[in-house]
A and B are shown apart, each in its own frame.
Chain A
Amino acid sequence: MKWKSQLGVSIGRVANRGMRLIGRDSTALPGYLAERFERNSLGEFMRGRVYGSRILITGTNGKTTTTHALKTILEADGRPVVSNSSGSNLSRGVLTALMQDNRQGEDVTLLLEVDEASMPAVVAAAEPTHCVILNLFRDQLDRYGEVDTTQKLLVRALIGSGAELILNGDDPWVAMIPKLTGSKRTHYFGLNIDGLQALPHDFAADQPVAPLTQAHISYQRRYFGHLGIYAADDGSFKRPALAVDVRKFNKQKTGQQKLHYMLQKKQHSILTNLSGTYNAYNIAAVLLTSSLLGMNQKTVEAGIQSVKPAFGRQEILSIDGKVYQFYLIKNPSGFNQVIQQACTNQTDTRPILFIINDNFADGRDVSWLWDTAVEDIQPGSHIIVSGLRAYDMALRLEYAGLPCQVVPDPIKALQTSQKLAQADLGVRVLPTYTGLLQLRKHLALKLEHTI
């Protein structure tokens, strides 16, 4: 019923205007109201709208960072970009973002970060020209279900879509998707790094089987989780040839990371503020996508160099001369990457503050803490645990043989860890999502006080 969805969109628009009038920005409410009235409001809203490229970015980890990086370089190239850069990535968030930024036209790029569960609806509505799938990991199983459920959702979304698929070739769950959808226009990115291997206690792998034949998949090399170089035992499936592959990355004295990679059989290197293995994947995805969009290599490299970490992702906040570096943790594979990058270096003596909540947005189930490689945290680290499930984390650490101090209130815990920090070195803060929001709000208030 067309009138219904049109009315739904109108309701959303009114809500959006209303929110603005009272001085409030909303990232999802107008879209939510429209969808409450008619489920296909996004499809109705998109009908007849014109954009040049329509790019969707999905996957368990790295959506926000990758979208943010691609947006930065597209804009550096002078292309107008319409995006849900607030990170509100369900279909209601996408609809809200589009209502708030009305630009369209052949020169405008639509760039959307999309939650895996919203992919069927958003693909149907947006008819993407390019679809990036970064990885599939176990993530808040009580909300999303298991990896094979998520993969089925993406397959359902992409059957019949004409989009170019830009896929992580090192993740077999992602790389096998074209075999299940019949997609022909596929491009893969990944890593070819000899010295890189998973943490000794990285058990966050969800081992898939070969598509169609169900054969066992064996790994020649595992970078982390189930990402690596692999082949099915019956020869029916293996890691595909890579269009962009990262050959080496290393940390510079400036704190930046230098990345060496192959693109179109030529070797290149770039500097970036985004470090760690998972960011090497995110950047490889950005490099491959921008090359498919025909962007100038120099613009791309300059753009990537200027990208700052996204909200809570290695982001550094400095307040009252005190430094906090935030590493958002949401699921075992992301947590393990943070451990590998920030908690295994003997020379890093900053206290580690965990804030573990189990609110709806964090996932109610805290079982995932036991799928993480906390055994690989540098022994002797000063560890403080906080949040609604502080004692669950303390128990996890106890069984890993790591002593810790429990301060359930996050604000008090922040003060405790700051006192333990040496001079101006600061604190490593590892919060779940709502813990991050809570601390950010507190620090922002302090920031206003000091001004």
Chain B
Amino acid sequence: MKKRMLRIAYLFPDEMSTYGDRGNIITLVQRLQWRGFGAEVVEYRPGDAQPHNIDMFFIGGGQDSGQRVIGSSILRLKPWLSEAIESGMPGLVICGGLQLLGQYFEMVSGDRVEGLGIFALHTIGGAERLTGNVHVQSDTFGEVLGFENHSGRTYLDKPHQAMGRVVLGAGNNNEDGTEGILHRHTMGTYLHGPVLPKNPVIADWLIAGALGISSTELAQLPDQFLAHARAFSRRRPR
């Protein structure tokens, strides 16, 4: 197999990047390069021309001010992003990115911010932040470990789309036990940590999707610190 160059679109890296989100990009690039593939990160900023020849996309979490700034730019990007996701392009969206791709966000004040309407979910602002270590059990990925820090409560229209069920922590809304969403080949989650370095099974699912192969066909990597890092973080308190 000829080793390809994959292009990863990193959408709004200045405004939508917090809590170590960039670590997800570092993880995707390294796991590609360690296996001999090329990786190019295409950063998309407000005002840039629509990205092209993209194999995978990523949106991180943002501060309120960041999410306000990108409002009109992400709306212009909606046709491209919607087409990409529905046609099965692999993607990962974290926290604020997850909320933006939903139907709407209703703030504590009662004001409503429209989302892109790609995910069948909506978010209601909460007074109290949901913060702490999270353990999730996922049919697709097994046990997923991370850290959450959000005030929005997200409700899925179709609960079976959840990425997994919360074992420790709050997850989407601290009520129904769901965490994140899986839609086509895009995953949305509240998990920081960042999520990919300690859950490389998700990184490899994204990479395999972009290559059009199954994860089991990817070369094994040594991941020499992974088991210990997961074991230690599993023991830490909420």
Tell me whether B23 is interfacial, beta carbon within 8 Å: yes
Tell me whether B137 is interfacial, beta carbon within 8 Å: no
CA separation between A205 and B14, bound complex, in Å? Answer: 8
Chain A residue with the shortest CB-CB distance to B66 = A207
1/0 per residue A140-154: CB within 8 Å of B? 011001111100000
Check A370 against B132 for contact (C-beta < 8 Å): no
> Known contacts A214-B68, A395-B198; is A388 also within 8 Å of B236 by CB?
yes
Check B233 against A367 for contact (C-beta < 8 Å): no
Check B22 against A203 for contact (C-beta < 8 Å): yes
Check B22 against A147 for contact (C-beta < 8 Å): no
CA separation between A364 and B133, bound complex, in Å? Answer: 8
CA separation between A29 and B27, bound complex, in Å? Answer: 44
The stretch among B79-87, B116-124, B211-219, B221-229 that forms the contact with chain A is: B221-229
> Known contacts A146-B63, A364-B132, A367-B193; is A391 also within 8 Å of B20 by CB?
no
Q: Which residues of B contact A389 (CB under 8 A)?
A: 232-233
Q: Which residues of B contact A367 (CB under 8 A)?
A: 19-20, 23, 147, 192-194
> Known contacts A367-B147, A399-B30; is A148 also within 8 Å of B65 by CB?
yes
Check B20 against A203 for contact (C-beta < 8 Å): no
Tell me whether B69 is interfacial, beta carbon within 8 Å: yes
User: Nearest Cβ distance between residue A358 and chain B, in whole angstroms?
Assistant: 6
User: Nearest Cβ distance between residue A139 and chain B, in whole angstroms?
Assistant: 12
Chain A residue with the shortest CB-CB distance to B132 = A364
Cβ-neighbour of B228 out of A147, A370, A406 (below 8 A): A406
> Known contacts A389-B232, A395-B198, A399-B197; is A368 also within 8 Å of B226 by CB?
no
Cβ-neighbour of A370 out of B20, B69, B232, B236 (below 8 A): B20
Cβ-neighbour of A365 out of B66, B147, B226 (below 8 A): B147
Interface size class of B (residues with CB under 8 A): 35 or more
Q: Which residues of A contact B17 (CB under 8 A)?
A: 203
Tell me whether B113 is interfacial, beta carbon within 8 Å: no
Tell me whether A54 is interfacial, beta carbon within 8 Å: no
Check B63 against A148 for contact (C-beta < 8 Å): yes
Check A209 against B69 for contact (C-beta < 8 Å): yes
Check A371 against B147 for contact (C-beta < 8 Å): no
Count of A interface residues, CB-CB < 8 Å: 37
Chain A 398-445 residues near chain B, CB threshold 8 A: 398-400, 406
1/0 per residue A322-363: CB within 8 Å of B? 000000000000000000000000000000000000100000
Chain B 179-238 residues near chain A, CB threshold 8 A: 192-194, 197-198, 224-226, 228-229, 231-233, 236-237
> Known contacts A368-B20, A395-B198; is A406 also within 8 Å of B225 by CB?
yes
Tell me whether B55 is interfacial, beta carbon within 8 Å: no
1/0 per residue A359-387: CB within 8 Å of B? 00000111111110000000000000000
CA separation between A341 and B133, bound complex, in Å? Answer: 33
Q: Which residues of A contact B64 (CB under 8 A)?
A: 146, 148
User: Nearest Cβ distance between residue B85 and chain A, in whole angstroms?
Assistant: 25
Check A142 against B229 for contact (C-beta < 8 Å): no
CA separation between A148 and B15, bound complex, in Å? Answer: 12
Tell me whether A130 is interfacial, beta carbon within 8 Å: no
Check B225 against A394 for contact (C-beta < 8 Å): yes
Tell me whether B103 is interfacial, beta carbon within 8 Å: no
CA separation between A270 and B65, bound complex, in Å? Answer: 40
> Known contacts A367-B194, A395-B226; is A209 also within 8 Å of B19 by CB?
no
CA separation between A396 and B22, bound complex, in Å? Answer: 12
Tell me whether A206 is interfacial, beta carbon within 8 Å: yes
CA separation between A145 and B149, bound complex, in Å? Answer: 9
Tell me whether A301 is interfacial, beta carbon within 8 Å: no
Tell me whether A392 is interfacial, beta carbon within 8 Å: yes
Check B20 against A371 for contact (C-beta < 8 Å): yes
Check B225 against A391 for contact (C-beta < 8 Å): yes
Q: Which residues of A contact B133 (CB under 8 A)?
A: 364
Tell me whether B26 is interfacial, beta carbon within 8 Å: yes
CA separation between A149 and B132, bound complex, in Å? Answer: 19
Q: Which residues of B contact A92 (CB under 8 A)?
A: none
Chain B 59-99 residues near chain A, CB threshold 8 A: 63-66, 68-69
Tell me whether A239 is interfacial, beta carbon within 8 Å: no
> Known contacts A141-B18, A207-B14; is A147 also within 8 Å of B69 by CB?
no
CA separation between A396 and B14, bound complex, in Å? Answer: 21
Tell me whether A208 is interfacial, beta carbon within 8 Å: yes
Tell me whether A71 is interfacial, beta carbon within 8 Å: no
1/0 per residue B20-39: CB within 8 Å of A? 11110011001000000000
User: Nearest Cβ distance between residue B109 and chain A, in whole angstroms?
Assistant: 15
Tell me whether A216 is interfacial, beta carbon within 8 Å: yes
Chain B residue with the shortest CB-CB distance to A206 = B63
Tell me whether A187 is interfacial, beta carbon within 8 Å: no
Tell which of B21, B198, B225 has the most Cβ of chain A within 10 Å.
B225
Tell me whether B140 is interfacial, beta carbon within 8 Å: no
User: Nearest Cβ distance between residue A8 and chain B, in whole angstroms?
Assistant: 27
Q: Which residues of A contact B231 (CB under 8 A)?
A: 391
Check B232 against A388 for contact (C-beta < 8 Å): yes
Q: Which residues of B contact A141 (CB under 8 A)?
A: 18-19, 149
Shortest 9 CB-CB contacts between residues of A and residues of B: A370-B23, A367-B20, A370-B20, A391-B229, A394-B225, A391-B228, A146-B63, A367-B19, A207-B14
In the complex, besides A205-B14, A207-B15, A207-B66, 6 extra interface pairs with C-beta distance below 8 angstroms are: A206-B63, A367-B192, A370-B26, A395-B197, A396-B23, A398-B224
